[in-house]
A = this chain, B = another copy of it.
Amino acid sequence: MHVTGHTRGGKRPGIRDVATAAGVSYQTVSRVINDHPSVKPATRERVLATIQTLGFRRSATALALASGRTRSVTVLTANTTHYGYAATLQGVEEAARAAGYTVAIGVLESDTVADVRAEVRRAADTGGGLIVMAYDTAGVRALAAVPDELPVVGVVETPSRPPAGHRPWVWTDDREAARTATRHLLDLGHETVHYVAIPSSTRRTGQRTAGWRDALRAAGAPEPRPLAGSWDPAGGYQAGRRLARDPSVTAILCGNDDLALGVIRALHEAGRAIPGEVSVAGFDDAPHSAFLTPSLTTVRLDFTGLGRAAFGRLHGLLEEAEPVAPRPVSVPLLIVRESSGPPPAPLPPNPPSEVPRA
């Protein structure tokens, strides 16, 4: 089953084939396919009909070469399998498809400056715009390595300074999200909240860590040292084993849901009940988090919306649309599930000799 109808000629019909078939110059065909206003309606109809019967499709590469603008965007990312990355990519793709753009993907496999630069170069060769996922070292370096003349938008952690106008950024309000989650745990009655961090994209403290700290300070709660985690359940598991040894730990916030999964596993192995003895909250609301046992309290972030916004900004950059004021894409939403609850009742100073009745 063929998609196009031009089986006879051998190669696909070009603008000139359409022209001769329609009895006009190829010039006019170009005008029709570009929606140029000055074409007589009758002529336009005739050309359109010919395009239809010949199955003409304008060559994207010829268009790119002649016009100088490629209707494509390449997404540069260190990861494609983690939920946040994949969902953001999906958002970019949706928006790009709607706008008739092609989306390419470049994976930053190594984060050395040389490798990152090579990958940026490759992406630049494609000719279109760039969207860089700058959540990690590789991404941050890639964003920095993009030449000034290239249209690029960064998907970043909440920026501390406003981004420059010609290099828009998009972000979710991770700091506020972390504050919200931490407050939730504090409000439940926990004395403090421990934090297992995702790797920071820069040398500075990550936004999620900052938000967690904000909330602790605002509540006057002690500030334990955050545990360096990773992106994976395995990293959460390591951190969880350490935290499980400390009986004073009653609440743990994790930098993402995968870390939380590992932490929960470690606590479980150590025999600590969740949420009876320890509460755990995650970040992202990955699709499986609602089905875990216990189901995971977490903060939902709108990644596909973030991806759509990233493409929107890039599109504006490429087509000289009006610039939009940068702002976080959406408000994070706290989802309370089974993994968080009040802390265990403190041991009474003088243990009663009798078991209290229910």
Contact = CB atoms under 8 A, between A and B. Distances in A.
Interface of A: 1-4, 57-62, 64-65, 70, 72, 74, 80-81, 83, 86-87, 89-90, 93-94, 97, 102-107, 109, 117, 120-122, 124-127, 144-148, 232-234, 236-237, 258, 261-262, 264-265, 268, 287-288, 290-293, 295
A37 B272 CA distance: 69
B80 A93 contact: yes
User: Lowest 10 A-B CB distances belong to which pairs?
Assistant: A233-B291, A61-B64, A81-B86, A265-B291, A104-B104, A61-B65, A60-B125, A261-B291, A268-B293, A93-B107
Determine how many copies of this chain the complex contains.
Answer: 2
A288 B2 contact: no
Contacts of A145: 1, 3
A118 B174 CA distance: 38
Nearest to A231: B287
A3 B147 contact: yes
A275 to B, nearest CB: 14
A117 B288 CA distance: 32
Given A61-B64, A65-B61, A103-B104, A86 B80 contact: yes
A261 B232 contact: no
A330 to B, nearest CB: 18
Contact of A261 (B83, B90, B288): B288
A94 B105 CA distance: 11
Given A61-B64, A292-B265, A104 B107 contact: no
Contacts of A290: 233
Given A64-B61, A90-B107, A147 B293 contact: no
27 contacts: A1-B144, A2-B148, A3-B120, A57-B125, A58-B125, A59-B127, A60-B125, A60-B127, A61-B65, A61-B70, A65-B65, A74-B102, A80-B89, A80-B93, A89-B105, A97-B106, A97-B109, A97-B122, A103-B105, A232-B287, A233-B287, A233-B288, A233-B291, A258-B288, A261-B291, A264-B293, A288-B288
A55 to B, nearest CB: 10
A288 to B, nearest CB: 5
Nearest to A240: B291
Contacts of A57: 121, 124-125
A146 to B, nearest CB: 7
A188 to B, nearest CB: 22
A97 B86 contact: no
